[in-house]
Amino acid sequence: MAVVGLANLAVKVADLDAACSFYVSAGAEVRDRMRWNNGERADVMLGPVMITLFTQALYEDRVELPTEGFLHPALFTDDLDAELEGHEVIWGPEVVEGAFGKRRIAFVTAPGGIRLEFMEQLAPPPEPELTTDEAKSWHAVGTAAGPQQETRTQ
């Protein structure tokens, strides 16, 4: 068992529109905004860090949470069951799906009044569906020296 990477830092916000606007003005890219667990979520790419904003945490009915604030780091693991041994699990393990693909996740309590999210990636994110105009902008480019490869025109 091992933690093999950091997926994101999760933050609860009361006003997702205002939070997204703040991060965009700070130079971040906001993507994958969607309805999520009786609330909303959005991923914020701020340099090498992904912050996931939530209006409601999955485990909100299990622990007391402030209206806004840091929730948890989300950590990839290669063996979720082994990672959970010896921890107080407050939610999960459950399988969830979204723009991030399919994952098996669980939350445990951690010092400092936070939680840790451990997750196993079960399936990759789905390929984005292209609109007709986007599909027309893709074309195959082949050369005599090698196989065809996909490129996108601007």
Torsion (CA) 87, 5, 34, 68 in degrees, nearest 10: 60
Domain boundary assignment for the chain: 3-127
Mean pLDDT of the region 61-85: 95
Judged against a pLDDT cut of 70, whether residue 133 lies above it is answered with: no
- Structure-model confidence comparison of residues 141 and 65, the more confident one: 65
Q: Lowest-confidence range among 77-81, 100-104, 135-139, 142-146?
A: 142-146
Mean pLDDT of the region 56-84: 95
Reported in sequence order, the residue ranges of 78-137 that DSSP labels E, i.e. its strands, are: 89-98, 101-110, 114-123
Judged against a pLDDT cut of 80, whether residue 30 lies above it is answered with: yes
pTM: 0.79
Residue 52 one-letter amino acid: T
Mean pLDDT of the region 111-125: 95
Its CATH architecture, for the domain 3-127, is: Roll (3.10)
Neighbours of 71 (CB within 10 A): 24
